[in-house]
């Protein structure tokens, strides 16, 4: 009597899993700089160092800095007088450093220089008498910070093409537009096109506001998603750039999931998956990428392939207070 053939289903979970790892991925220059600012502040001042808002949107990073003595707060009113405080990479309204100065707080600004560039553009547009239409996500810290650079009523937020259609500015209103740095490249292009069609005279920034890291990571996902059965994006649910990576993968027709840690992955997700795409948002460290690959290796034989779509060499200077 012949022995029964081995069950294909029973062995399916042992089949090799091809993992396409996107490059670039993970930390960008602005995130590297922000984290280093907190670490150097802790070395210089000793703990505790207060940080207004999460320095970057990643729980692993925040918890690591907490362990070194950083205390994260939402507002300055809980920071003791004279204590050192760091502003997050997302930027803050002008009222925040003004309050810090008024209270004599020793503060360090970790705002990403590419976000600061948008702040300066906003100021210049207002000086020229232009009303700013700002493309961004309501409630995001970067949006709050950018809108806080100009007087109330001088900037109008839009999130969608439909929001543009609802604008009721007179055709001769002097207008300009700026954008959040971590938006979907494709969505933003559609919104800007709608703005320019409705208001042909609207003034745009000299260069695109969406940062190089956001654009590069979205392009990398477009390279891995079409050949993948599932894409995993490592990032926080409040991370704009990470959420956009999920959307980009889904628009390529591929199922995508946002995870913060490898422990969130369920083995059932791999059913029927022969090729998996893997990337990480700009606030997620490489440690978490390796953690995910190790987790996948517990269930399947992993064949890892890195797809490089761009090289990043950007480095931002630290604040003067930390340079000596």
Beta bridge partners of 134: 157, 178
Report the alpha-carbon distance of residue 192 to residue 237 in Å, rounded: 26
Q: Strand, coil or helix: what is 19? A: strand
Report the alpha-carbon distance of residue 301 to residue 298 in Å, rounded: 8
Show the tokens assigned to 233: 């994006």
Q: Residues 224, 228, 230, 231: what is their CA dihedral angle, to the nearest 10 degrees? A: -10
Show the tokens assigned to 180: 């959040």
Using left for φ > 0, alpha for ψ between -120 and 50, and beta otherwise, residue 82 falls in left
Residues 6+ apart with CB under 8 A from 273: 17, 229, 230
Which residue from 209, 52, 239, 51 is spatially nearest to 119, judged by alpha carbons?
209
The yes-or-no answer on residue 159 being catalytic is no
Give pairs for 243-247: CB < 8 Å, separation 24+. Answer: 244/182, 244/183, 244/184, 244/214, 244/218, 245/217, 245/218, 245/221, 245/279, 245/281, 247/184
8 Å CB contact between 231 and 254: yes
Report the alpha-carbon distance of residue 25 to residue 33 in Å, rounded: 16
Report how far apart the first and last C-alpha atoms of the chain are (Å, whole number): 82
Which residue among the candidates 36, 39, 142, 298 is catalytic per the annotation? 142
Show the tokens assigned to 72: 């994260």
Report the alpha-carbon distance of residue 26 to residue 71 in Å, rounded: 24
Give the catalytic positions in this structure: 142
């Amino acid at each position: 009597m012949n022995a029964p053939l081995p069950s294909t289903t029973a062995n399916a979970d042992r089949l090799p899993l091809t993992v396409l790892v996107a490059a670039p991925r993970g930390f960008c220059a602005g995130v590297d700089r922000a984290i280093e600012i907190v670490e150097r502040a802790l070395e210089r001042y000793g703990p505790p160092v207060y940080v207004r808002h999460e320095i970057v949107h990643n729980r692993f990073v925040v918890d690591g800095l907490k362990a070194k003595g950083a205390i994260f707060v939402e507002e300055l009113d809980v920071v003791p007088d004279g204590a050192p405080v760091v502003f997050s990479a997302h930027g803050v309204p002008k009222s925040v450093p003004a309050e810090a100065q008024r209270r004599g707080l020793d503060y360090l600004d970790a705002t990403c220089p590419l976000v600061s560039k948008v702040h300066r553009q906003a100021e210049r547009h207002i000086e020229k008498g232009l009303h700013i239409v700002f493309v961004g996500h309501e409630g995001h810290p970067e949006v709050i910070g950018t809108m806080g650079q100009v007087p109330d009523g001088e900037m109008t937020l839009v999130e969608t093409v439909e929001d543009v259609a609802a604008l009721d500015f007179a055709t001769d209103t002097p207008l300009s537009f700026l954008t959040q740095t971590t938006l979907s490249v494709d969505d933003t292009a559609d919104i800007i096109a709608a703005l320019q069609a409705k208001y042909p005279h609207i003034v745009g920034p000299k260069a695109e506001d969406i940062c190089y890291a956001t654009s590069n990571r979205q392009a990398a996902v477009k390279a891995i998603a079409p050949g993948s059965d599932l894409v995993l994006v490592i990032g926080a649910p409040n991370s704009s750039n990470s959420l956009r990576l999920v959307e980009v993968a889904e628009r390529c027709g591929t199922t995508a999931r946002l995870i913060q840690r490898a422990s969130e992955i369920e083995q059932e997700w791999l059913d029927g998956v022969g090729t998996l795409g893997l990337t990480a948002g700009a606030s997620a460290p490489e440690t978490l990428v390796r953690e995910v690959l190790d987790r996948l290796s517990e269930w399947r034989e992993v064949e890892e392939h890195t797809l490089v779509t761009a090289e990043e060499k950007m480095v931002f200077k630290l604040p003067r207070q930390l340079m000596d």
